[in-house]
Amino acid sequence: MNKKLLNYFNQVWQSMLFWTLAMIVLGIVRFYGIGDEDGVQITPGYEDIISLPRILPYFALLGASMGLVFGSLEYVFDSIVSKRISIGLRNLIKIFLYFIVIIILFTLLIELVKYVMGISINNERGWWQQDRTFWAFVLYIFLAALVYSFIKISNEKFGKGVFLKMLLGKYKKPTEEFRIFMFLDLKSSTTFAEQLGHFKYSQLIQDCFYDLNEVVPKYGAEIYQYVGDEAVLSWPYKKGLANNQCVRLFFSFQNLLRDKQDYYENKYGVVPKFKAGLHGGKLMVAEVGVVKKELAFHGDVINTSARIQSECNTYDVPILISEDLVSNLEINEEYSSRSLGSVLLKGKNERVNIYTLTPQ
């Protein structure tokens, strides 16, 4: 529950910050034409108090209120509704709800401005239908919402902070970074595919990755890509080590699947289990492509992580980690480690020491 509340508050404050800034900008732009607004008359004697510093707090209040409501609605749609209805229907419902919210908030703001500042504004029932200023505001809010959605989608695709770095051109040339990679793969995938058929099997993978996405934000991971029934996750090196996040994510995901085993058994007749391989180190990051541009990671870290994960079946363990990474984790109190010796991974010339972990 605490994690869900934290995710909710993070989403809401980001929404409130964006919409507060967006409405302050709108307030600055609209202030200079307020005397010419349709349906707006300034009560005699109040002209001198109508100033930008006095008007901006009302726009900021409107923006913060919009951010609070919009952020809450987004959280509900993302966490509850997203799995149940199509994207098109979801967006239509959201647009309708947002429009109702805008009318209500603007009506309340008008009442507040009339009372405090002495500005007479038409707010009779249905006032918004013929009010050109209101529809100009709606158009601005719609465009601002597109910008907010673009930023949000970009952050989800590339990871928080990465999109800004791409805008600034950081990855136009290959850049060296230290990162941790996890290759997460469904066990017995071939058997499941044969047993369920391609349609049911695809639904199973879809459900598993929905559950994975509930866990990923809690442990600061970035999803690099999905490849069939495999997900590739990544952390900046220090961030992945902090509080053993790169390891805790795997066991948290494992526990979530275990808690939902009745759901999976009833729907698919199977309980999915995943295996993971982790390794970290230095690699290169660069933008690739023009159409469907994305970040690509190049280096031995990725290949080694994938090869380590492929050894899970050989040793019949759910998770394998390179010695280099284990030595940097603080696992003594939370996990017990067991050395499985050294292996010569496919495509490697030198043997790699690997470990498996179990919760204490």
Does 37 have pLDDT greater than 60? Answer: no
Under DSSP, the state recorded for 227 is: E
Question: Looking at the DSSP assignment, which residues form a beta bridge with residue 120?
Answer: 41
Last residue of some domain: 158, 180, 201?
A: 158
Overall average pLDDT of the 3-29 stretch: 84
Residue 169: which domain range? 162-359
pLDDT at 159: 63
The pLDDT of residue 262 is above 90: yes
Higher-confidence position of 269 and 351: 269
250: pLDDT strictly greater than 80:
yes
Cβ-Cβ contacts under 8 Å for 22 (sequence gap 6 or more): 63, 141, 144, 148
Q: Residues, the chain, total?
A: 360
Q: 105 and 169 in one domain?
A: no
Residues 151 and 171 in one domain: no
Summarised one tens digit per residue, pLDDT across range 313-328 is 889 999 999 999 998 9
pLDDT per residue as tens digits for the range 143-192: 998 888 888 777 766 666 666 777 777 777 888 999 999 999 999 888 89
Residues 205 and 266 in one domain: yes
Tell me: do 149 and 172 sit in the same domain.
no
Query: What mean pLDDT value characterizes the chain?
Result: 82
Q: Per-residue pLDDT for 216 more than 70?
A: yes
pLDDT of amino acid 309: 92
**CATH of residue 282:** 3.30.70.1230
Q: What is the mean pLDDT of residues 248-274?
A: 93
Average pLDDT over residues 192-206: 91
Domain end: 158, 190, 222, which one? 158
Looking at 96, 125, 158, which one is the last position of a domain? 158
Of 45-49, 90-94, 286-290, the least confident = 45-49
Lowest mean pLDDT among 21-35, 143-157, 214-228: 21-35
Do residues 213 and 118 both lie within one domain? Answer: no
**Are 312 and 166 members of one domain?**
yes
Number of domains the chain contains: 2
**pLDDT value at 204 more than 90:** yes
> What one-character DSSP code corresponds to residue 320?
E
The residues, ordered by sequence, that sit 6+ positions from 231 with a Cβ below 8 Å of its Cβ are 184, 209, 212, 223, 225
Residues 194 and 296 occupy one common structural domain: yes
Q: Tell whether 144 and 56 lie within a shared domain.
A: yes
273 vs 163, which has greater pLDDT?
Answer: 273
Query: In the predicted model, is pLDDT for residue 292 greater than 90?
Result: no
DSSP characters over 17-29 = HHHHHHHHHHHHH
- Percent of the chain exceeding pLDDT 70 equals 83
Q: If pLDDT is split at 50, 70 and 90, which confidence band does 129 have? A: confident
The first and second tokens of residue 197, run together, are 């058929």
Is 136 in the same domain as 178?
Answer: no
Nearest to 212 by CA among 243, 168, 246, 257: 257
Q: Quick one: 100 and 142 in the same domain? A: yes
Q: For residue 13, is it left (φ>0), alpha (ψ between -120 and 50) or beta?
A: alpha
Distance, CA of 273 to CA of 251 (rounded, Å): 11
- Are both 196 and 100 inside the same structural domain? no
Q: What is the pLDDT of residue 39?
A: 47
Residue pLDDT, tens place only, 53-71: 777 888 898 889 999 998 8
State whether 185 and 300 are in the same domain.
yes
